[in-house]
Structure 1
Amino acid sequence: MWYLFCEQTTEDRFKQNFKVIFSFLYCLRFQHIYSLTGKNIVNNFERGICVKIFVLHGSMFGHTEVLGNAIADGAKQVDGCEVIYKSVEEVEPDELKDAVGIIWGSSGIFGEPNPKMATFFSKLGQLWFTGALQGKVGGVFATTSTQHGGVENICRALQTPMQHHGMVLVSNAGPVNADRAQYGNPYGATAVIPVETSQEAPMNKPNDTEMQIAREYGKLVATAALKLHQ
């Protein structure tokens, strides 16, 4: 063996050392991804799943849940993403450790997120303390019942906890057209849903354009999460 080593040229030894170092760094890369996503990426590829995207709604009367459904549908269009759609009352904070992307949304109370969402945020202290959400991709959605009910302010308020957790926010960018000029929102997906005329009346829902923009936003956030963490 010593004879063979001595016969190697400097170039051969360099190539051999380079292969060893490259293999070591490649393994470190997967270890880093594992720490970010809380799961084994290799096993996920074997199962045909790359990353988890959580879409969470704090819906009081069902309107925000409908908008969230459109966002989840959009995220599902991205190959390699597993989309989990839940109410904030159903999800346990530790579940979010497995996420690569998180999109949460709420209706508004005087321009601020509703009590369900506020209660959910109060449960995330341990995740903040441990940095468990740092580097994850985030997006938000919101609904109000009037045109000037503070829907943009709700989005900004929903973004603030994400910034405290060190998440990467995705704006609701898209083609500049008439639909987005009227219904688009750079901070997230939004809808203005009038209050029903009576308790017996069917539930009002986001219009078709608001739903389409929400689907596009869900797909955008999921795509960004996949690109950032693959």
Structure 2
Amino acid sequence: MKMLIIYYSAYGHIRTMAEAAAAAAREIPGVEVTLRRVSETLSDDILGKMGALEAAKAQADVPVVTVEELAEADAVLFGTPTRFGNMTAQMRQFLDSTGGLWMKGALVGKPGGVFASSATQHGGQESTILSFHTYLLHQGMVVVGLPYAFQGQMRIDEITGGSPYGASTIAGGDGSRQPSENELEGVRFQARYLAEIGLKLKG
């Protein structure tokens, strides 16, 4: 079963989550995981002004995803930071290039899920994931969230991301906060859950 993890990460938080998800999914026998990023649309000059140039260059080792790879996948997990309660423009640009897959029904019946990040605790993580779900539904995909079987999202002893819609992390206003172990475990759980559903559907 081919599982594809596609992400965009401006400062590295979502990449950390994506790598944790990939490692967890690879623990499932019969699952082949490919990690890809969407292409950057901002110039080096703009990225430099945002303080994101170093993080962007550090991701050069991760290949840019193609539409063909999306079509070949049996299950897909998407990761995106939040921009005003929605996905990033970079992720949207990639999704907008997949109209041909919609025309062919190439993604119908395949499971898909989303994880996200935001600067603040209530910065739009849930709305980002929920609005991303509309893409999955238009493509005829089976939406897979983060069930309450992962009880880490019930914690109140620490600030943490995570909801039934998908795993998430809080980056902090200056981006200094890295994903916590609880948040990483959330995306690992979601990745394994998605992989297991992908195996069942493919089988």
Short-chain TM bin: 0.7 to 0.9
Name which structure has the greater RCO, CA cutoff 8 Å, separation 6+.
Answer: 2
Bigger-Rg structure (1/2) = 1
Map of 1:139 onto structure 2: 113
2:159 is aligned with 1:209: no
Map of 1:169 onto structure 2: 143
Q: Any gaps of 5 or more consecutive residues in structure 1?
A: 1-50, 198-202
Q: Any gaps of 5 or more consecutive residues in structure 2?
A: 40-63
Per the alignment, do residues 176 and 218 of structure 1 end up closer, same or farther by CA in structure 2, a change over 3 Å counting?
closer
CA contact (8 A) 1:60 1:116 kept: no
For the residue of structure 1 that corresponds to 2:146, the secondary structure is coil
2:170 is aligned with 1:220: no
Superposed CA RMSD in Å reads: 1.4
The within-5 A match list for 1:180-219 is 180-182=153-155, 183=160, 184-196=162-174, 203-219=176-192
The within-5 A match list for 1:102-181 is 102-175=76-149, 177=151, 179-181=152-154
The within-5 A match list for 1:42-61 is 51-61=1-11
Give the counterpart letter for 2:143 in structure 1. L
Give the counterpart letter for 1:180 in structure 2. Q
Q: Structure 2 length as normaliser, TM-score? A: 0.81
Partner Cα separation in structure 2 for residue 81 and residue 65 of structure 1: 20
Q: Structure 1 length as normaliser, TM-score? A: 0.72
Aligned length: 174
CA contact (8 A) 2:150 2:189 kept: no
CA contact (8 A) 2:170 2:177 kept: no
Q: Deviations over 1:50-105 (max 9, x none)?
A: x1000010112211111111111221111101000110221110111211100111
Partner Cα separation in structure 2 for residue 160 and residue 88 of structure 1: 19
TM-superposed CA distance for 1:228, in Å, is 1.1
Give the counterpart letter for 1:207 in structure 2. S
TM-superposed CA distance for 1:176, in Å, is 6.4
Map of 1:65 onto structure 2: 15
Partner Cα separation in structure 2 for residue 101 and residue 166 of structure 1: 12
Partner Cα separation in structure 2 for residue 228 and residue 169 of structure 1: 13
Per the alignment, do residues 221 and 116 of structure 1 end up closer, same or farther by CA in structure 2, a change over 3 Å counting?
same
Partner Cα separation in structure 2 for residue 176 and residue 106 of structure 1: 21
TM-superposed CA distance for 1:196, in Å, is 3.2
Map of 1:11 onto structure 2: none
TM-superposed CA distance for 1:192, in Å, is 1.0
Give the counterpart letter for 1:214 in structure 2. V
